[in-house]
Amino acid sequence: MAAGMRKRGRVGSAARAAGFCGQWLRRAWQERRLLLLEPRYTLLVAACLCLAEVGITFWVIHRVAYTEIDWKAYMAEVEGVINGTYDYTQLQGDTGPLVYPAGFVYIFMGLYYATGQGTDIRMAQHIFAGLYLATLLLVFLIYHQTCKVPPFVFFFMCCASYRVHSIFVLRLFNDPVAMALLFLSINLLLAQRWGWGCCCFSLAVSVKMNVLLFAPGLLFLLLTQFGLRGALPKLGICAVLQVVLGLPFLLENPVGYLSRSFDLGRQFLFRWTVNWRFLPEALFLHRAFHLALLATHLIMLLLFVLCKWHRTGESILSLLKDPSKRKVPPQPLTPNQIVSTLFTSNFIGICFSRSLHYQFYVWYFHTLPYLLWATPARRLTHLLRLLVLGLIELSWNTYPSTSCSSAALHICHAVILLQLWLGPQPFPKSIQHSKKAH
């Protein structure tokens, strides 16, 4: 009898232990799900992913062959400046004339010296690997403040994109440099450091003009926050910095500098297009097509300004007034209002771009998780959003592009744009108070 009791006791203890273990495992599983689904864990997941990215980028640099595209041309262009040529019309590399503003020249001049006159490719790759990790850090800080994107999505933003790793550490394009400065600018804006944010924004523009796609959103934010009179000093910072950076070239040949570095009418080659491959080449090159895209771009921006961003009930012209003199009391901008406006402004420009080349992927790659997950899940499930993200990645990794890959890219862009239009207002009529503007 005693043996039976001991046996039942052992069975009971084993059952309790099994129950405890099962409860612990269930709790661990629930916490793991929270870790992957709750935006408040963004920084923890980001730290793990950044550590993983150190190994991934190191592996890519040492195991995947470097491909020369524009690096030697960049070095030849800045070498001309080093040798005393300040006339932009006389500066060129193997791929053509210098077509980037002065900030590009100074930054890549530093890279020229850091890499033994551009000959130490491995050193350049390691520098761009550091730039890649810095960009990820800046992006994660933005997502941490918006609290919109579940952390599991960041795996697809980091480790799963072959094209972005290639752009940074296998091609050494200038696009990542411009975007790193842009994300630094957004972080400063989120910290309510508007003057420094505008300064970094202008510095990003001075590396590559694609950053101007964010400019309509930035202008709207400045007018909303400060009115015309208060926004003018911030806009003046942007303008003065461009003049100061370009001064040596403006003094030598102002027309040559402006026409080369800020050439908005530059023609793109059909063989490199990612987004318009399904069009006949004659239509792709036609001026009327370019004007139609520009008109559609401006109309779409205006619709978002009037129907999505400006929600006070006053006329749009009220933005020109001092905030204290408006009918609706001024409210500090929230992180989501800042990020949504800037990312949407840029995305609209991407949708109606005359041409997208492979290195242009970084213009909006790190903003895609926010654009897809900023609206409630009832619009699109997590699975459908991941499908859109995967199709975009596939389109950018199809080389050369095909009619199908270009069409798929446009369909995905249309889905995101429609979701942004139908989603909740980033500027509701009642705005929560946040930090005081600097």
316 pLDDT band, cuts 50/70/90, is: confident
- Asked, for residue 435, whether it belongs to a domain, the answer is no
Q: Looking at residues 1-14, what average pLDDT do you find?
A: 53
- Asked, for residue 396, whether it belongs to a domain, the answer is yes
Contact status, residue 48 vs residue 159, Cβ threshold 8 Å: no
The whole-angstrom separation of Cα 32 and Cα 114 is: 44
- Asked, for residue 434, whether it belongs to a domain, the answer is no
- Asked, for residue 352, whether it belongs to a domain, the answer is yes
Residue 430 scores a pLDDT above 50? no
- Asked, for residue 32, whether it belongs to a domain, the answer is no
Alpha helices in 64-150 (DSSP H): 71-82, 102-114, 121-146
Number of compact structural domains in the chain: 1
What is the average pLDDT value for the chain, to the nearest integer?
89
What residues pair up with 96 in beta bridges, in sequence order?
93
- Asked, for residue 212, whether it belongs to a domain, the answer is yes
- Asked, for residue 13, whether it belongs to a domain, the answer is no
Q: Please name which of 56, 90, 58, 61 lies closest in space to residue 76, comparing C-alpha atoms.
A: 90
76-101 pLDDT tens trace: 999 999 999 999 999 998 888 999 99
266 pLDDT band, cuts 50/70/90, is: confident
CB under 8 A, 24+ apart: contacts of 50-58: 50/133, 50/136, 50/137, 50/140, 50/158, 52/158, 52/159, 53/132, 53/133, 53/136, 53/158, 53/159, 54/133, 56/159, 56/165, 57/129, 57/132, 57/133, 57/165, 57/168, 57/169, 58/129
208-246 pLDDT tens trace: 999 999 999 999 999 999 999 999 999 999 999 999 999
The whole-angstrom separation of Cα 340 and Cα 334 is: 10
436 pLDDT band, cuts 50/70/90, is: very low
Q: Looking at residues 128-137, what average pLDDT do you find?
A: 97
Range of the domain at 394: 40-422
**pLDDT, position 331:** 78
- Asked, for residue 2, whether it belongs to a domain, the answer is no
Q: Looking at residues 168-187, what average pLDDT do you find?
A: 97
21-76 pLDDT tens trace: 666 546 545 666 677 888 888 998 999 999 999 999 999 999 999 999 999 999 99
